[in-house]
A and B are shown apart, each in its own frame.
Chain A
Amino acid sequence: MTAGAVHLAWKDVRQHRAWLGAFLAIAALRALLIGSGIDAYITNPNLLASLGFTYLLLCILHFALVVVVAVQVVQADRLVGTTAFWLTRPVPRRSLLAAKLATVSIVLVVVPVVFDALVLATNRMAWLDVLGAVAEGALIRLAIVLPVMTLAAITSDLAVFVVAAVAAFFGTLALEAVFQWGHMVVWSVDGVPARNWSSAYSATLVDAAVIIACAVIALAYQVFTRRTTRTVLIVIGGVTVAALVANRWTSDLGLMKTGLQAGWLDPSRIVVTMKPLAPENVSTTNRKRPWLIRASYIVTGTTANVALVPLSVTTETLFGDGSREPFRAEVQQRVWDMLPSPPAFLRKDLVEALLVGTHLVNAVEFRPGQQMRPIASLTEEGHRKLVYLGAQFTVEVALGGIAYHVGAVLPLEGHGSGAAGDRRVSIQSATCEIGACDVVLRDAMAGFLVDLRRPSRVEYILVNQTRGQAVWSAERDYFSRYPVFGRASFALLGEHLAVTRRALMFKAPDSMPDMIDARWLQEASIAALEVRDIGAFTVEAKVVQEGRK
């Protein structure tokens, strides 16, 4: 930056010092509030609600000040009209552009990102994650601030800017509508049917890069030429390109192998092998149906807290006459779908099985003259039934993985607190009447400490150890915008304040309304599961076995 640009930037800083000061104060306060974890120590629900509202207010003020500061700085040296002071002064336009970009970038991007990085660092986030979050924070903020600057450059004051912003918003929607009619936009990314920045990391990166590039080009064009009509055309072109390129390139930018924390399943480590039963076990064959031979398979490489869900099974059978018969069965089931819909009672053994380790096994039955068909079943043996007639089998199993973190079991009495998943959960209150109980939890999770590269959700289980009963309560899905780089993002910073309080209701089934009462509750504990879809992967197995008639 030249001395002239520094001189201009310093003028802007001095001119808008009140706004800048207000913004930096808000940004610092917001970072402090998030980083302090103060909410973890507040047990008064009213105070917590006030804290949550304060945080919301700070977020709104933060955004509003980003817009106001960007607009004020740009319009301090107006780029439209014919009355600006700088127009007849020896102000190099490149210096003017550099000054505006530098002032806005430093104040609205660099400083808040540094604040956030400090928060992450003080929370012992790995430096690589901090760097990833810094990169994402800078990228996202630039993608917001630069279009605001561009719009400010083609408007004369804040009031006109607001009108133009509203017009731009509806104009963009109209453009989107046109593109949708023309099937020109990509809606589904990685199976997520929502077209927004959260649908893919690279989509965010590409869209942000396009937006930043177009905004800088439009801003520079306006500074150098002050041809507002043409600048507006460049802006429209930029919006068009951004809409068209969105979601066309989708890939994970972060490192998946480091994306999973200890204890979570790494799909790359899963090996599924199938092997035929040893001849001595043939006797286990159903005597009434001697052609039915049981084959077993072994699932290795899994951790205890994972459920493998077959999504599809593809087999190819090579018969003795050389003919082949392919078959593909879509299973598309999730382990959680097989459990009773919450809230509902679970048997103790099921709960224990869930908490200790689950192996979902799929059975495939094949009979002569019939197609192979999958049988969904939940066993703990890990056996697959295969029937074949002197044929060779190649089996390809597509598995979906669901992993979970088990939190500590917290007694309801004494308002206990502890870790549940990656959350700091404490129990605010628990009241009970026959048939149902209300539990209010405080979820003080430091949201940014959680790897949310995959959607996760929290399931709470109210367990009565003595009676061996449990009630399942599904919490809302915990979807946040995925971090673009690495595991962390500043967007997650405020999550623990934003979702501070959870009110759960556990209800007895209609058939047993008196199962839950005050005594039941006295002995009850609450456990939290953070459930995460770890994605789909494919394993191959071959079974070669001489058939017998």
Chain B
Amino acid sequence: MTSIIQTESLSRRYGRTEAVRDLTLSVPEGSIFAFVGPNGAGKTTTIKTVMNILEPTSGRATVLGIDSRRLSPAEFRQIGYVSENQEMPGWMTIRELLNYCAPFYPTWDPAFAEDLRRRLDLPLNRRIRDFSRGMRMKAALLSSLAYRPKLLVLDEPFAGLDALVRDEFIQGILELAEQSQWSVFISSHDIDEVERLADWIGVISEGRLYLAEPVAALVGRFRSIEATFEGEATMPRPLPERWLAPEVAGHTLRAIDAKAGEAGGEDRVREVLRGAARVEMSPMSLKAIFMALARTFRSASRAEGDR
């Protein structure tokens, strides 16, 4: 598996604040990688470091096999970047934007750009500064797709977009993804936004990457457990390391097992809960998994901070 983005022990500090800590990540080529985490988790800092907008404090990142600090116009011709934080030349119309961007990209496809513009429903002669937020994001997407980049980096592209625009946006990306063999690295704080898109997921919290794996594998191995006991439910000791968010309420014990979906995983759960009258294990949605993971990681971080 070739990595289109790879980081090795990447760290970035802002003064005393460590926004990204020792982050090692690999984004497989051809994947749509969702990089999710709560607000302030370090997603944007990671992306900016990867894109050479920021310099890493330590560690390194490679994009398209090149050290991020040495990214040159040759690499940027293969990378599309859309971010909620990116300034757009508001004085330009869409026509002017396309005319301005086209000469930078040898692979710029005017017909494709026009097709995209129609699909994204962007008026040709209105100034970008007069656009709504959603339209500005679509304009950024248009100017980042028209040259068929090998890698598309989307940093919180859906923030503040209404459902309709978001759907159009996602639809556009999905359609294009089917047409082109490209890689998409998309960050979001809301798993709902990327659930339809992603085939890989990475979860970051407080600057640390907690997992990165294919969505199918993640969903496949996580199970929510609900065990009913005849008497008062008790927490098994020792608590399995793979369990998240265990809780006991009356006769019921609930937990999430991160490996129950693996071969033999359900048997291991039943073994732990052998005193239970009934054990139910059900697959989880990506959102439920993310929420559980986010809560767990945040608790762990706080506990570490308290120490």
- Measured CB to CB, the residues of A under 8 A from B are 3-4, 7, 11, 14-15, 78, 82-85, 87-92
Say whether B79 faces chain A, with CB atoms less than 8 Å apart. yes
CB contacts (< 8 Å) of A83 on chain B: these are 83, 85-87
Return the contact of B89 from the options A7, A85, A87 (Cβ within 8 A): A85
CB contacts (< 8 Å) of A85 on chain B: these are 86-89
CB contacts (< 8 Å) of B77 on chain A: these are 90
CB distance from B144 to the nearest CB of A (A): 8
CB contacts (< 8 Å) of B91 on chain A: these are 15
CB distance from B180 to the nearest CB of A (A): 19
CB contacts (< 8 Å) of A92 on chain B: these are 72-73
CB contacts (< 8 Å) of A78 on chain B: these are 87
In the complex, the answer to whether B73 meets A88 with C-beta atoms within 8 Å is: no
In the complex, the answer to whether B104 meets A91 with C-beta atoms within 8 Å is: yes
A82-B52 Cα distance, complex, nearest whole Å: 10
Say whether B54 faces chain A, with CB atoms less than 8 Å apart. yes
In the complex, the answer to whether A7 meets B103 with C-beta atoms within 8 Å is: yes
A-B contact pairs, 25 of them (CB 8 A): A7-B103, A14-B96, A78-B87, A82-B54, A82-B85, A83-B83, A83-B85, A83-B86, A83-B87, A85-B89, A87-B51, A87-B52, A88-B51, A88-B53, A88-B76, A88-B79, A88-B81, A89-B101, A89-B104, A90-B76, A90-B77, A90-B104, A90-B105, A91-B73, A92-B73
Residues 140 to 170 of chain B near chain A (Cβ within 8 Å): 153
Say whether B74 faces chain A, with CB atoms less than 8 Å apart. yes
User: Which residue of B51, B87, B101 has the most chain A CB atoms within 10 A of its CB atom?
Assistant: B87
User: Which residue of B54, B72, B91, B153 has the most chain A CB atoms within 10 A of its CB atom?
Assistant: B91
CB contacts (< 8 Å) of A90 on chain B: these are 72-77, 104-105
In the complex, the answer to whether B86 meets A88 with C-beta atoms within 8 Å is: yes
- Measured CB to CB, the residues of B under 8 A from A are 48, 51-54, 72-77, 79, 81, 83, 85-89, 91, 96, 100-101, 103-105, 153
In the complex, the answer to whether B89 meets A82 with C-beta atoms within 8 Å is: no
Return the contact of B87 from the options A3, A4, A84 (Cβ within 8 A): A84
CB contacts (< 8 Å) of B96 on chain A: these are 14
A540-B33 Cα distance, complex, nearest whole Å: 92
A7-B104 Cα distance, complex, nearest whole Å: 9
CB distance from B69 to the nearest CB of A (A): 11
A149-B307 Cα distance, complex, nearest whole Å: 50
A87-B155 Cα distance, complex, nearest whole Å: 14
Task: Write the chain A residue with the least CB distance to B81.
Answer: A88
CB distance from B61 to the nearest CB of A (A): 14
CB contacts (< 8 Å) of A84 on chain B: these are 87
In the complex, the answer to whether A15 meets B89 with C-beta atoms within 8 Å is: yes
CB contacts (< 8 Å) of A14 on chain B: these are 96
Asked, given contacts A4-B103, A11-B100, A89-B76, whether A82 binds B53 with beta carbons under 8 Å apart, the answer is yes
CB distance from A18 to the nearest CB of B (A): 10
Task: Write the chain A residue with the least CB distance to B147.
Answer: A90
Task: Write the chain B residue with the least CB distance to A16.
Answer: B91
A15-B81 Cα distance, complex, nearest whole Å: 23
CB contacts (< 8 Å) of A11 on chain B: these are 100
A279-B79 Cα distance, complex, nearest whole Å: 103
CB contacts (< 8 Å) of B53 on chain A: these are 82, 87-88
A4-B48 Cα distance, complex, nearest whole Å: 25
CB contacts (< 8 Å) of B81 on chain A: these are 88
A91-B153 Cα distance, complex, nearest whole Å: 18
Given contacts A85-B88, A88-B86, A91-B76, 9 further A-B contacts (CB under 8 A): A7-B103, A11-B100, A82-B54, A87-B53, A88-B76, A90-B72, A90-B74, A91-B104, A92-B73
Task: Write the chain A residue with the least CB distance to B153.
Answer: A88
CB distance from B95 to the nearest CB of A (A): 13
Task: Write the chain A residue with the least CB distance to B76.
Answer: A90
A88-B152 Cα distance, complex, nearest whole Å: 11
User: Which residue of A78, A84, A87 has the most chain B CB atoms within 10 A of its CB atom?
Assistant: A87
In the complex, the answer to whether A82 meets B103 with C-beta atoms within 8 Å is: no
A366-B250 Cα distance, complex, nearest whole Å: 129
Task: Write the chain B residue with the least CB distance to A15.
Answer: B91
CB contacts (< 8 Å) of A88 on chain B: these are 51, 53, 76, 79, 81, 86, 153
CB contacts (< 8 Å) of A7 on chain B: these are 100, 103
In the complex, the answer to whether A82 meets B48 with C-beta atoms within 8 Å is: yes
Task: Write the chain A residue with the least CB distance to B48.
Answer: A82
Task: Write the chain A residue with the least CB distance to B73.
Answer: A90
CB distance from B265 to the nearest CB of A (A): 42
CB contacts (< 8 Å) of B103 on chain A: these are 3-4, 7
Which 8 A-B pairs rank lowest in CB-CB distance, beginning with the nearest? A90-B73, A88-B81, A90-B76, A90-B77, A82-B53, A90-B104, A83-B87, A83-B85
A83-B84 Cα distance, complex, nearest whole Å: 9
User: Which residue of B48, B51, B76 has the most chain A CB atoms within 10 A of its CB atom?
Assistant: B76
User: Which residue of B72, B79, B100 has the most chain A CB atoms within 10 A of its CB atom?
Assistant: B100
CB contacts (< 8 Å) of A4 on chain B: these are 103-104
CB contacts (< 8 Å) of B86 on chain A: these are 83, 85, 88
A4-B73 Cα distance, complex, nearest whole Å: 11
CB contacts (< 8 Å) of B153 on chain A: these are 88
CB contacts (< 8 Å) of A89 on chain B: these are 76, 101, 104
A82-B11 Cα distance, complex, nearest whole Å: 17
CB contacts (< 8 Å) of B89 on chain A: these are 15, 85
Task: Write the chain A residue with the least CB distance to B88.
Answer: A85
A88-B91 Cα distance, complex, nearest whole Å: 19
